[in-house]
Chain A
């Protein structure tokens, strides 16, 4: 069966420090991968999605970037964190190519920038 791993679960980082959140999927190949941010009272905002290795689309201009170095690995990064980057970050995957599939979510990372 397919599983999605996301780490770390919580992270406290100072302003100006770098960020790297990792997400890996097991049990499937060539998935669509997504990074969402959940801010209090604002629902889930799609940050990045990827349909293949090295193929990243950004939905919102921001201080973050994403990379997909391997088929089932998706990394969210920042060179210098801002206070406004605090939030709950969720990685998700869905099957590639099928039109009728849902997304499956990781456990999330609670990021607090201090």
Chain B
């Protein structure tokens, strides 16, 4: 059964870069049949798609975040990563990774605060 697990810093200072990794187990990330996604949810609010990457390395980002987002893939480690630069308090959210429509990881809360 495919499982995804987010990891990374839970506290990031304003203007710094948020970095998260999604480890994939129970299946291979090396399949272009699926997109590998990052989604976030500010506390008490709805869901916002950040972007996705394919096995080929092709990426698609939400235009609202495009200038600050980088998603990369590490096939050797069966994982993919998110970098979000120049963060502000508005980037405080639970960050989820997901394969296509599912499954999703359990999510990790990232707080932006000095």
The answer on A and B forming one complex is no
Q: List residues of A whose CB falls within 8 A of some B CB.
A: none
Q: List residues of B whose CB falls within 8 A of some A CB.
A: none
